[in-house]
Amino acid sequence: MSADRYLAVAGPRELREGEVSLADPGAGRVTVDITYTGICGTDVHGYTDGHMLPPAVFGHEWTGSISAVGEGVQGLRAGQRVVGGVGSACGRCPQCVAGHARNCDTVFAEANGVDADAPDYGAFATRVQVSARRVIPVPESLSDVEAALVEPTTVTFHAVRRVAAEYGATTVVQGAGPIGLLTAQNARNAGAGPMIISEPSPARRALAGRLGFAHVVEPADLRTALDELTAGLGADLVYECTGVPSLLQPSAELVRRGGTLALLGYPLENSSISYGDWQSRELTVIGSLAYHHEDFVGAIRGIAAGRIDVAALHTATFGLSSLRDVLEELDSGRSEHTKVLIDPKRDGRA
């Protein structure tokens, strides 16, 4: 049996290459040959920080084909294309027993790579073995690149679903990286009204325009554009997708009295806010992290129907040996890339 290769975080800005010979999957598990793994902002932060990520999370946006199925697995077969996801609510954890299945502890643990069945490394690898709960079949109509972008699409589908904004809501999306652009598309599908996207990168602003968004501005021009659009009232809804700690209070100040601030970006430092401002303006603040199984179903359907363009976000594919250099570039703040994929079977860049 040939050894499978993987890369894992070994310390701040350090990667460790490992090799493992995977045995046949045990009961309830499957082996997946990885086709592509997307690089997420979480992966970049985990690499630079060196210790914040559970091992299975470093390389969590993946697609591949099942190569082996363990005993007792139903509905999955060798050769089937799948993406990494989460299972349905377990029905047994404290949240489920209390009637809060949408906050299932088992699903939350799976989404964050800390469940008992989590693999010892993520999918910056040639193959992974995971619980059959964690794999979700994708339709043949999706390309491999589209399948590789299902996971971040699902993150944003979940956020928009949680917000459940009123039809026609005046919306601001801060950040036109992958999460911001996918949030904007999901919000548009959910009936958002006039929308402004704020982004400092000219390349990403141009991409937002190609995706059909008319109001795309530099951050310095956002307040003026919003005042013009709303006659100074403010946005009904702001999606904060950057995770920049210093933007939390300024983001809240874009929201009209009685409006909603939705948090998708994940800061690594504490933020300062004006408690009195939020309270006196009766803001609704909705946090969002990861997803549920049904969010994957909805996201896949949206991509398959052509309502969400994920392929446009893909700007480059690299081999596994290039991962360190790509992470450094993405962390520099000077990268022109939107979404980079890793192909573990190839070296170099395509």
Claim to verify: residue 219 and residue 240 sit in the same structural domain: yes
Claim to verify: residue 135 and residue 20 sit in the same structural domain: yes
Claim to verify: residue 141 and residue 55 sit in the same structural domain: yes
Q: Is 170 a catalytic residue?
A: no
Claim to verify: residue 279 and residue 173 sit in the same structural domain: yes
Claim to verify: residue 43 and residue 176 sit in the same structural domain: no
- Answer whether 17's CB lies under 8 Å from 124's CB: no
In a domain, 305, yes or no: no
Domain that holds residue 76: 4-149+310-343
CATH number reported for the structural domain that contains residue 184 in this entry: 3.40.50.720
In a domain, 38, yes or no: yes
In a domain, 90, yes or no: yes
Q: How far apart are CA 32 and CA 82, in angstroms?
A: 8
Claim to verify: residue 214 and residue 128 sit in the same structural domain: no
Claim to verify: residue 44 and residue 128 sit in the same structural domain: yes
Claim to verify: residue 28 and residue 140 sit in the same structural domain: yes
Claim to verify: residue 90 and residue 168 sit in the same structural domain: no
Claim to verify: residue 30 and residue 131 sit in the same structural domain: yes
Claim to verify: residue 329 and residue 260 sit in the same structural domain: no
Phi-psi bin for 70: left (phi > 0), alpha (psi -120 to 50), beta? beta
User: What is the model's pLDDT at position 347?
Assistant: 65
Question: Residue 311: CB partners within 8 Å, gap ≥ 6?
Answer: 143, 145, 146, 149
In a domain, 127, yes or no: yes
User: What is the model's pLDDT at position 336?
Assistant: 87
Q: Is 45 a catalytic residue?
A: yes
Q: How far apart are CA 136 and CA 189, in angstroms?
A: 23
Q: Name the stretches of the chain with pLDDT < 70.
A: 1-2, 347-350
In a domain, 303, yes or no: no
- Answer whether 324's CB lies under 8 Å from 342's CB: no
In a domain, 349, yes or no: no
Could you give the number of structural domains in the chain? 2
Q: What is the reported pTM?
A: 0.95
Max Cα-Cα span within the chain: 67
Which residue out of 45, 48, 230, 315 is catalytically annotated? 45
The amino acid present at 251, given as its one-letter code, is S
pLDDT digits (tens, 9 = 90+) for 173-188: 999 999 999 999 999 9
In a domain, 298, yes or no: no
Which residue out of 37, 42, 51, 100 is catalytically annotated? 42
Claim to verify: residue 10 and residue 40 sit in the same structural domain: yes
In a domain, 220, yes or no: yes
CATH number reported for the structural domain that contains residue 43 in this entry: 3.90.180.10
